[in-house]
Amino acid sequence: MGAIMSRSKSASLKLKIDPDLYDTVEYAAALQGSTISEFVVRAVKAAARREIEDTEIVRLSKAQQECFAHALMNPSAPSPALKKAFVRHKQFIIGH
């Protein structure tokens, strides 16, 4: 039977920050009625989610969506270069 990898229920993150930033974070946490750790965890989680969303989700305007849908529904005929690439793909990758 293979080894089962378990993940700890929590991980530690240690960092050094400028004393002024620490005071700002401490004050912001107090305004929310939370500890500095709770505040930092919420802030980091929100920032990480935003970054992932900004990177992985493509947003299009209505006009861009319509243009994209039109291109999918009405594709252009393959160019000579694309036809040549299909032939090379079939020869080298598929082997026929």
Tokens read off for 58:
């493509």
pTM of the model: 0.58
Residues 4-37 have pLDDT tens digits of: 656 678 889 899 999 999 999 999 999 999 999 9
Residue environment code for 44-76, b if the CB has 16+ CB neighbours within 10 A, otherwise e: eeeeeeeeeeeeeeeeeeeeeeeeeeeeeeeee
Other C-beta atoms within 10 Å of 36: how many?
14
Domain range list for the chain: 19-94
DSSP code, position 35: -
Q: Give the pLDDT confidence of 33-90 residue by residue, as tens digits.
A: 999 999 999 999 999 999 999 999 999 999 999 999 999 999 999 999 999 999 999 9
Question: 13: which residues sit within 8 A by CB, 6+ positions away?
Answer: none
